[in-house]
Amino acid sequence: MARTIIIFFSIALLFANCKKKDTDKPDTYTPTCSGAKSFSNDVFPLIESKCKKCHTNMDDHAEVKALAAAIKDNVTSGIMPKDDKLTDAQKDIIVCWVEAGAPNN
């Protein structure tokens, strides 16, 4: 009897744990792109405030563009910024600009 109860609770715990992991999923972000994003007005100020304290290789358009694909991946997944979180609107600025071909606008 005791064994049955232990097994029952173990299984219940297992499911409770799975459920928790599900709801804890960090990123369900998908970009919503509306309107053109400007590198100098939108993207670069965000990079300056959220990324440059750690990254010394994002000083101008050419450097950011060279890293554009990796930046998009890391921002979409939420891996970067390492010490902080971007709002979905902030992610949109970076991701939509990269999807538009990372223009110098």
Out of 43, 80, 93, 95, the residue judged to bind ligand HEC by CB under 6 A: 80
Q: Does 95 bind ligand HEC (CB under 6 A)?
A: no
The alpha carbon dihedral of 47, 49, 50, 52 has a sign of: positive
Out of 8, 53, 59, 104, the residue judged to bind ligand HEC by CB under 6 A: 53
The CA-atom distances, in angstroms, between 14 and each of 7, 18, 22, 63, 94 are: 11, 6, 13, 47, 39
Out of 7, 33, 36, 70, the residue judged to bind ligand HEC by CB under 6 A: 70
Query: What is d(CA 92, CA 82) in angstroms, rounded to the nearest whole number?
Result: 18
Q: Looking at beta carbons only, is 33 or 54 nearer to ligand HEC?
A: 54
What is the binding site for ligand HEC (CB under 6 A)? Answer: 50-51, 53-55, 67, 70-71, 74-75, 80-83
